[in-house]
Structure 1
Amino acid sequence: MMLIIAWGNPLRSDDAAGLRLGELLEELWRERKRPVRRITVHQLTPELALEIARDDVSTVVFADARDASAEAGGPPPEILVRPLLADPRTPVLGHHLDPAAVMACARLLYHKASPAWIATVPGVDFGHGEGLSDVAEAALSRLPEALFRLTSE
């Protein structure tokens, strides 16, 4: 089963783009009759390691927004998809983690090391407010081929 972990704050404009990407990915998997489960959170926490360690989870996709302000001036920013590389030195401190640290928790606590990916949506407005910027909306309307390849597993 594909586990999608989407995180962001729907009250901080483009920070919600990762949440919307998680919904779109779940729809893709369901259309292809693939087993999928989506978890939506405001931030990544160590408790997610237990979800990743479930026996039925074969792959994990993290969906988030990224600040694309520096990408202005070039081609339209797109959703980026890359494998999440394991780093045994990833610190697991506090209660707010990055995807590598959550995967490290699953590996260290539950001996589970499923393949993982991170997909990020470009955003330019992370201020207070609801709704996505034109940049985030445009990127979400052009899902990259890499996401479709993930669904064929």
Structure 2
Amino acid sequence: MRGIDTRAPFSVTSFLDTSHPIYHEALRASMADSPVLIMGETGAGKEVLARYIHGNSKRGKDGGFIALNCAAIPENLFESELFGHTKGSFTGADKDKAGLIEAADGGTLFLDEVEEMPASMQVKLLKQGEPLDETLPVSLRI
């Protein structure tokens, strides 16, 4: 996993300055097909940086960019949002629903405020997650 720390002075215009260290880190990250951890304070531009990396990567040409603010998802909905569910798997599941992991297949899933995600969901995500009751292979960058 590549890590990029935006706590150093950074702005969107930093990308125009090819001498800025974040520009080079982002460019390297876009060339690698591996997860990227972007750290920084609220408002530092983490999503902008993630979109830049995605847009300059093969995934940016082949797949979409999906952003999820983990702080905005109630704890009891995380599993369904990320992994999806099948009809009848719980009360109220009246139809199959693809999760964001499946929707991001071939692209990038950006998890903002990931520290707000319940620890149990972080473990499932690290284990490459599966829908609640079946296996579905996907290729994505988180």
TM-score range normalised by the length of the shorter chain: 0.3 to 0.5
* TM-score normalised by structure 2 residue count: 0.34
* TM-score normalised by structure 1 residue count: 0.33
Q: Which has the higher helix share?
A: 2
